[in-house]
Copies of this chain bind each other. A is one copy, B any other.
């Protein structure tokens, strides 16, 4: 069954490991997901996860090449692969892959992340998203060059021809999690059914640049007062907070990108898992942007492209 395997591609992040078996035709033949992200690997024994996950796909005579992207290449991962700097794209990533070797001689290539120092002197980093950008641009060369990857730490990335030229990180997802779980804002929340009206109200308030609305630290308190005064029901407060934070992120990112480019593009591509990408698409659409949704497969497309550029997939 696996004799036609040309490549094993892995999205190895903080909490989840997603693996893809790529067949001779370049398509995904099988996929598998385990909750074995780098912080979940028992005893840091990456080799045993490697054997469990990729072993069943390595039964043929020839060694099947394996390539991974994501936090597996970070300091807490299997091997720290140094960051590249912008502009970096498929050729640069392919030329400086990190390599680990298991005790029984199997190997895995790891895509480097990208680090830059912002115009304000503060560093920023991506690891995994650079591969998603490569994939998104291969699949849609007409994209505007602005890519949003929502997540615990949301990334806005400018790219040209598949090369990352600038990016910025926003702690939106993590702020939502800790504020709704651990702050007073969660006390009035009931249930987690999405409420589109409350979400959009949050987006509007989060995006508002009216100086009388102060800024995010003040706006957050509206989750409490709108709940206290029954203006937003408890069932809708979670959606309101989510919209408020995503709206603030859109405003912040637009400001930074307009400062860099002189204008803010009104078309962008959202990459990511279904529910979160839909929420961002909804917020960005409500804010007037034309949004392309690139789904979850940008990562595997990027991994295949980098493996090809690195000569890991000789045409047989």
Q: Which residues of A contact B (CB under 8 A)?
A: 75, 118-120, 122-125, 152-153, 168-172, 174-175, 177-179, 181-184, 205, 208, 210-222, 225-226, 228-229, 231, 245, 248-249, 251-253, 255-256, 258-260
In the complex, given contacts A122-B226, A216-B216, what are 15 additional A-B residue pairs having Cβ atoms less than 8 angstroms apart? A118-B213, A119-B212, A120-B208, A120-B210, A122-B219, A123-B225, A123-B228, A170-B217, A175-B217, A177-B183, A178-B179, A211-B255, A211-B258, A212-B256, A215-B215
* Chain A contact residues: helix, strand, loop or mixed: helix
With contact pairs A118-B212, A122-B222 given, residues A217 and B205 touching in the complex (Cβ less than 8 Å)? no
With contact pairs A213-B256, A215-B252 given, residues A221 and B183 touching in the complex (Cβ less than 8 Å)? no
**A251 CB to nearest chain B CB (Å):** 7
Cα–Cα, bound, A220→B253 (Å)? 14
16 A–B pairs (Cβ distance < 8 Å), ordered by A: A118-B212, A122-B205, A122-B225, A122-B226, A124-B225, A152-B184, A170-B214, A170-B218, A175-B217, A177-B183, A178-B178, A178-B179, A211-B255, A212-B259, A217-B252, A218-B256
B184 adjacent to A255 (CB under 8 Å): no
- CB neighbours (8 Å) of A219 from chain B are 122
B183 adjacent to A215 (CB under 8 Å): no
- CB neighbours (8 Å) of A123 from chain B are 222, 225-226, 228-229, 231
The 3 A-B residue pairs with the shortest CB-CB distance in the complex, in nearest-first order: A215-B252, A211-B259, A214-B252
With beta carbons under 8 angstroms apart, the residue of B178, B208, B248, B256 that contacts A183 is B178
With contact pairs A178-B179, A178-B182, A182-B178 given, residues A171 and B124 touching in the complex (Cβ less than 8 Å)? no
Cα–Cα, bound, A258→B248 (Å)? 21
Cα–Cα, bound, A125→B231 (Å)? 14
A221 adjacent to B124 (CB under 8 Å): yes
- CB neighbours (8 Å) of A152 from chain B are 184
Cα–Cα, bound, A168→B172 (Å)? 23
Cα–Cα, bound, A183→B231 (Å)? 30
